[in-house]
Amino acid sequence: MTNNEILRRIQHALNLKNAQIIKAFEQAEVKVAHDQLQNWLKSESEKSFAKMKDKELALFLNGFINVKRGKKDGEQPKPEQQLTNNMIFMKLRIALDMKNEDVLDALELMGVSLSKYEIGAYFRKPNNKNYKACSDELLCDFLNGVQFTQRPDSEEYAG
């Protein structure tokens, strides 16, 4: 998945307004113009589409954590220059204050059954022998599961 698609999916899953996304960027101490956000949210086939870089998505996710959990005192985390699905998965889990059981419940709604040990492998450091890379499909299932836990009235709920 592209960063643009991930941002669109997060926006849809959590029913975020553009102003809320801009506020998340501000919480990461970055100004994003409404037009810039609109261009990131467009589909690739649209004329003024702009490709979102890893650093820009990392800034949004760091700011989103600050919005949802409160901004820590002192220096803010530096945005990653390169993001992996595992990092995105972890940042969303932190922002939404989800425990492993909550993540498993969200995935279960999408028909994905994992054990606590299996889910833990996605949140390990890449050099850990038990680390497992998060696929686009798993990240997408997680976002869909989050949508149905955060927005139970969502029309796409299949459960």
What is the predicted pLDDT for the residue at 2?
Answer: 95
Domain end position, chosen among 65, 83, 101: 83
Q: How many domains does the chain have?
A: 2
pLDDT at residue 158, as a whole number:
43
Q: CA-to-CA distance for 94 and 88, rounded, in angstroms?
A: 10
- pLDDT of 119: 95
Least Cα distance to 20 among 58, 67, 56, 89 occurs for: 67
List the domain range (segments joined by +) for residue 106: 84-152
41: CB partners within 8 A, 6+ apart: 4, 7, 8, 11, 18
Residues 134 and 121 placed together within one structural domain of the fold: yes
Whether pLDDT at 36 is above 50: yes
Nearest residue to 61 (alpha-carbon basis) of 96, 100, 35: 96
- The reply to whether 111 and 131 lie within a common domain is yes
Kindly state whether residues 58 and 92 are assigned to the same domain. Answer: no
Same domain, yes or no, for 92 and 135? yes
DSSP state string for the chain: --HHHHHHHHHHHHT--HHHHHHHHHHTT----HHHHHHHHS-TTSTT--PPPHHHHHHHHHHHHHHHH-PPSSSPPPPPSS--HHHHHHHHHHHTT--HHHHHHHHHHTT----HHHHHHHTS-TTSTT--PPPHHHHHHHHHHHHHHH-TT-TT---
Confidence (pLDDT) at 77:
82
The 10s digit of each residue's pLDDT in 103-116 is 999 999 999 999 99
Q: Do 66 and 8 belong together in one domain?
A: yes
157 part of a folded domain: no
C-alpha–C-alpha distance, residues 117 and 30, integer Å: 37
Residue 75 domain-assigned (yes or no) = yes
Q: Is there a single domain that holds both residue 47 and residue 69?
A: yes
The more confidently predicted of residues 35 and 154 is 35
**What is the Cα gyration radius of the chain?**
16
Quick check: is 20 in a domain? yes
